[in-house]
Homo-oligomer: A and B are copies of this chain.
Amino acid sequence: MSFTTDATLFTFEGKLIKLTHDSTETKTKMNVNVYLPKQYETSSEKTIPVLLYLSGLTCTPNNASEKAFWQPFADQYGFAVVFPDTSPRGAAIEGEDESWDFGSGAGFYVDATVEKWAKNYRMYSYVHGELQEKLQIEFPKLDFSTISITGHSMGGYGALSGFFKNPNKYKSVSAFAPICNPIECQWGQKNFGGYLGEDKSAWAAYDPTELISKYEGSEIPEILIHTGTADPFYHRDAQLLPENLVAASKGTKFEGKVSSNLVEGYDHSYYFISSFVGQHAAYHAKYLGLSK
């Protein structure tokens, strides 16, 4: 058995499965939650599309499972939702638990090259590769060839970055308060510096604002982003910089296709995320070929 089932929770009209498995990428035990919509039980093999949701700093798979409210929309449209963890945990690396925004809970969806982290902190290859391959085997009714991607904050960056780096893999990409230009903000500099070292060309290979002009895919979906004007990481700390991504889209295949919405008064929390999950679900459902 590749996965161990820790819990099967009945929620809305489907089931949330809490799993653990030994990852070959991170060399640790990893947690992941999968929401199987009501359509799963009676479906045939490889018929249920997948939405990959990447969480933000400090989160486990449980935060979004309990507070983002994807379940009723997954049931409405008929897609599964995969909630990976945000980093390896318990890798026994000195200092990995010292900072809330680096190390445990903050894998930043890169493959680390700095020696200290390189063995375990391989979240890029884990979420876009190993995890999907193993879940396809575990849940044969899911169709990982019909997949879209979304995420929040660090996970919103991870979704955008992963979309641009994997041409034509993801049918659509959306993000809630994403870190759009990590090279230019403190979170990005701390994490890219820590995991990738001082060579900034390595950083650019993960930065959505750098990657958007280099995208080699033929499928060009609209990109849906919501950011709250009362989000302190937006208005106070300039960690998110959605304007930079929009500006960088000019002259690229995505010119006019980045739908970056500043929403008045919303903050950075799940109160914000859950408010717009319905819109993001409808957006992804369209690209996943699902009707109401």
Chain A residues in the interface with B (C-beta under 8 A): 9-13, 16, 66-67, 69, 71-72, 228, 230, 263-267, 269-272, 274-275, 278
Is there contact, CB below 8 Å, between B275 and A10? Answer: yes
With A66-B67, A67-B66: A12-B274 Cβ-Cβ less than 8 Å: yes
16 contacts between A and B (CB under 8 A): A10-B228, A10-B230, A10-B264, A10-B265, A10-B271, A10-B275, A11-B266, A12-B275, A13-B275, A16-B271, A66-B270, A66-B271, A67-B67, A71-B274, A71-B275, A72-B278
Cα A265 to Cα B17 with chains together (Å): 13
Add 19 more A-B contacts to A10-B228, A10-B264 (CB < 8 A).
A9-B267, A9-B271, A10-B230, A10-B263, A10-B265, A10-B266, A10-B267, A10-B272, A11-B271, A11-B272, A11-B274, A11-B275, A13-B275, A16-B271, A66-B67, A67-B67, A69-B274, A71-B274, A71-B275
Of A9, A230, A265, A266, chain B has the most CB atoms within 10 Å of the CB of: A9
| Copies of this protein, total | 2
In the docked arrangement, what's the CA distance between A263 and B10, Å? 10
Q: Name the distance in Å between A235's Cβ and chain B's nearest Cβ.
A: 14
CB distance from A232 to the nearest CB of B (A): 13
Which residues of B sit under 8 angstroms from A12, Cβ to Cβ?
A: 274-275
Bound CA span A275–B15, Å: 11
Contacts of A272 in B (CB 8 A): 10-11
Contacts of A271 in B (CB 8 A): 9-11, 16, 66
Chain B residues, Cβ within 8 Å of A265: 10
For the complex, give the distance between the alpha carbons of A96 and B9 in Å: 33
Residue of A228, A269, A272, A274 most packed against chain B (CB within 10 A)? A274
Look across to chain B and name the residue whose beta carbon is closest to the beta carbon of A72: B278
Report the minimal beta-carbon distance from A228 to chain B, rounded to whole angstroms: 7
List B contacts of A230 (CB < 8 A): 10
Closest Cβ of chain B: how far from A59's Cβ, in Å? 14
Q: How far is B228's CA from A11's CA once the two chains are assembled, in angstroms?
A: 11
A72 to chain B, nearest CB (A): 8
- Cα A286 to Cα B263 with chains together (Å): 32
Q: Which residues of B contact A11 (CB under 8 A)?
A: 266, 271-272, 274-275
Kindly report which residue of chain B lies nearest to residue A69, judged by CB atoms: B69
Which B residue's beta carbon lies closest to that of A15? B265
Q: How far is the CA of A228 from the CA of B10 in the complex (A)?
A: 9
Write the nearest CB–CB distance from A139 to chain B, whole angstroms: 19
In the bound complex, CA of A259 to CA of B175 (Å): 42
Rounded to whole Å, the gap between the CB of A287 and the closest CB of chain B is 24
Bound together, the chains give a CA A201 to CA B270 distance in angstroms of: 45
Cβ of A99 to closest chain B Cβ, rounded Å: 25
